[in-house]
Amino acid sequence: MSIKNLSANALLASLLFVIYFSLSQILYLEFVTFTIILLSLNIPKYNSLFIITTFVILIWLVYGISLWSLMYIIIYPLFTIILLILKKPLKKNVYFIAIFAFFMGLLVGNMIDLPFLLFSKEITVMYILLGFKTTLIQGTIAFITVILFYDTLSKLIQQIIKKGDLYV
């Protein structure tokens, strides 16, 4: 990996962290899902995995390691791998990407609650049911965000990669 690629990856991981940090204080506003989709479908695979993993490490450094933040290292790279596997069929139509974003937004909140199974099945079910309203809204926001912004930002990322000779 060249210095140029490493720098671009670090910059994109930092950008993802800034999006997470600045918007996580506003309930329901969750653009991490959209940004991960955008990066995974437009950045070469090993680089996108590096970016997402670096992002999770940045979260750990700022917020510490907890049950929720431990789940990030499973959830976000796993979604990235799924996106990389489904890249060709997803990129055929923005609505496919939007549907995937909806389910990804829906699942993130619920998957983060899974460690509560270690304590009690009842607590886990309660968290998932109570959090469903929030995750449903987050999934809907992810769907709408993809429809509105994906094509434009995808073209912009491709132009930046081409112009800067990144990931060659």
Q: Which tokens belong to 38?
A: 């955008």
Distances (CA, A) of 19 to 1, 13, 120: 25, 10, 33
The class level of CATH for 3-163 reads mainly alpha
Note whether 100 and 90 are within 8 A (CB): yes
Tell me the whole-structure pTM to 2 decimals.
0.88
How far is it, in rounded angstroms, from Cα 59 to Cα 148? 28
Q: Which tokens belong to 21?
A: 């940090």
Note whether 140 and 147 are within 8 A (CB): no
Closest CA to 63 of 32, 24, 33: 24
How far is it, in rounded angstroms, from Cα 122 to Cα 116? 9
pLDDT in tens, the chain (168 residues): 788 889 999 999 999 999 988 877 776 567 889 999 999 999 987 899 999 999 999 999 998 998 778 888 989 999 999 999 999 999 899 999 999 999 998 888 777 766 666 677 777 777 677 777 778 888 999 999 999 999 999 999 999 988 888 886
pLDDT value for 116: 67
pLDDT value for 24: 73
pLDDT value for 45: 77
pLDDT value for 164: 81
Q: Within 10 Å of residue 106's Cβ, how many Cβ atoms?
A: 21
Per-residue b or e along 118-146, where b marks 16 or more CB atoms closer than 10 Å to that residue's CB: eeeeeebeebbeeeeeebebbbebbbebb
At 27 the three-state DSSP class reads coil
- CA R_g for the chain: 16
pLDDT value for 138: 87
The domain segmentation of the chain, as residue ranges, is 3-163
Distances (CA, A) of 71 to 6, 9, 112, 116: 25, 22, 6, 11
